[in-house]
Amino acid sequence: GKYDDVAGMVDIMNKSLEEIKGLIERLSGTDILNITKMLTTAKKVYILGRGLTEYVGEEFSFKLQLLDIDAMFIGDPNIMREKAKRLGTEDIIIIFSLMGQTKELVESAEYASERNVQIVTCCCSDTSPLLKYSNVSLVGMRHKHVAIQDYEVSSRLPLQMMSRIIIDALVMNVKE
């Protein structure tokens, strides 16, 4: 009946609230400031992402460009692997990945790490292999409940919030 619908809606809204609270509790202001410092001093910033997370990476890249940071999004697996093998120490890679397990993202991080490129990972898994290659990592909480079971279309809300917080911190630092 009607009550079940209302209770269901509360559950749905609480899911988003839990993801955001979980993320905020796990974030370190120092890490965010370190990332903004890395971004403002980098020669070039490469943002990597795959699947639905590409939308988060593209938006992040676009906002960096609006802030006059030389940024480029790469979603193609072959290009990200090859690019990672050619980067210099003045470049940065920022990887957005929900579970942090995507093979080409991990390989790119490994190649870049061998070249002492600074790597930032934004993901929602404490067990991601990306973390061991990263200079700074932001790890959000992913809600266990998946709305659409047959596809990997889990919410990217924590990744979107990380992107937003980094951009907001950059804007704050640019203004000062």
Say how far apart CA 124 and CA 142 lie, in whole Å. Answer: 6
> In the structure, what pLDDT confidence band is assigned to residue 107 with cuts at 50, 70 and 90?
very high
Residue closest to 117 by CA, chosen among 138, 143, 95, 139: 95
Say how far apart CA 149 and CA 154 lie, in whole Å. Answer: 9
> In the structure, what pLDDT confidence band is assigned to residue 166 with cuts at 50, 70 and 90?
very high
Reduced to 3 states (helix: H, G, I; strand: E, B; else coil), residue 96 is strand
Q: Is the pLDDT of residue 100 over 70?
A: yes
Say how far apart CA 147 and CA 152 lie, in whole Å. Answer: 10
Query: What is residue 153's predicted lDDT score, i.e. its pLDDT?
Result: 56
Phi (first) and psi of residue 50, to 5 degrees? -130, 155
Q: Is the pLDDT of residue 2 over 90?
A: no
Mean pLDDT of all residues belonging to the chain: 91
Is the separation of the CB atoms in 135 and 118 below 8 Å? yes
Is the separation of the CB atoms in 109 and 119 below 8 Å? yes
Is the separation of the CB atoms in 44 and 74 below 8 Å? no
DSSP letter at 137 equals E
